Amino acid sequence: MPKPPAKTARRKKPPRLSPAEQARIAEIFHRFESLESDPRTELEYKDAYTLVVAVALSAQATDVSVNKATAKLFEVADTPEAMLALGEHGLKPFISSIGLFNTKAKNVIAMARILVEQYGGRVPLDRAALQALPGVGRKTASVVLNELRVEPAIAVDTHVFRVSHRLGLSTGKTPDAVELELMGKIPEPLLTRAHHWLILHGRYTCIARRPKCEECPVADLCPSRHLFIGR
C-alpha cells in the first residue's frame, strides 16, 4: 500500500514561555553545547546513502550493533546499485545480528531498487521523497535530514522522550507531541544539534533506571532531580 504523503518538518509557533523559562531552556542547551559543540550521530556512515541505510537498520537496535554489521556490509555494498546486486539473500547474513533483520533486508533492497530506478542511485534529500522510501519513517527521515544539516529536525526516540520529560521540556504523551513541543521551544540556532545532545544526555547521564544526577551538567536546571538524588 502506498505510504501517505509525508508531513513537512514542523516548527510551530513557539508556545508562550515566561522569560525565566526561556532562559532556563537556553541555558540547558548552552551547557550541552559547551560540552560538545558539534555532536553527531554515533552511527558510522560515509555518505547520504550509507547514512539512510544505517539509520533504517537502527530501529529497535543499538548503534553499536548496527556499526558492527555495516562495517562489513559497506565494504561490499555502499551504493544502491551494489546493494541491489547483493540482493535480499546476500544482505541477510550481514545484518542477521540486528533485530527485525528479515523485514529490514526486504526494505533495504526495495529502497535500493527505487533509488536506482527513480533517482539515478542518489538519495533524495527531501522529506516527502525520503519518507516514501521503504523502511523510512518520519523518525528515520528526521535523523537523516538533521544529520546532513538539510533541515533541523528532532527525531524523538526513547532517550529524547525520557530526557524531555525529566527536564520539563515537554509533557507530550507521544513522540510526535514531544517533537512539536521541542521544535517550538528550543532556540532555533541550537535546534539542529539539540537532537544529538538529548540523545547523548539520555544515553550516558540521564539513563532510564538510574540517572546520574550527581554528575549531571544541568541538574540545577532540572525539575526532576529531587526524584532521583539520594534515592
Q: Which residues, numbered 111-170, are part of the site for ligand SF4 (CB under 6 A)?
A: 166-167
Sequence-distant (≥ 6) Cβ neighbours of residue 67 within 8 angstroms: 42, 43, 44, 54
Long-range contacts of the stretch 126-133 (C-beta < 8 A, 24+): 127/6, 127/7, 127/8, 127/9, 127/151, 128/5, 128/6, 128/8, 130/6, 130/52, 131/3, 131/6, 132/2, 132/3, 132/6, 133/52
Q: Is 225 in the site for ligand SF4 (CB under 6 A)?
A: yes
Which one-letter DSSP state was computed for residue 72?
A: H
Question: Given 38, 104, 126, 139, which residue is catalytic?
Answer: 139
| Element containing residue 37 per DSSP (H, E) | none
Residue 180 in contact with ligand SF4, rule: CB under 6 A: no
Q: Is position 157 annotated as part of the catalytic site?
A: yes
Amino acid at 228: F
Q: How far is the CB of 106 from ligand SF4 (least distance, A)?
A: 38
Cβ proximity to ligand SF4: between 168 and 184 the closer is 168
Which residue, 127 or 159, has its beta carbon nearer to ligand SF4?
Answer: 159
Region 184-213 residues binding ligand SF4, contact defined as CB under 6 A: 205-206, 211-213
Q: Is residue 201 within 8 Å of residue 32, measured between CB atoms?
A: yes
CA separation for the pair 70, 177 (Å, rounded): 32
The residue from 169, 182, 200, 222 that contacts ligand SF4 (CB under 6 A) is 222
Q: Which of 210, 219, 230, 231 binds ligand SF4 (CB under 6 A)?
A: 219
Smaller CB distance to ligand SF4: residue 33 or 151?
Answer: 33
Binding site for ligand SF4 (CB under 6 A): 166-167, 205-206, 211-213, 216, 218-219, 222, 224-225, 228
Catalytic sites, residue numbers: 139, 157
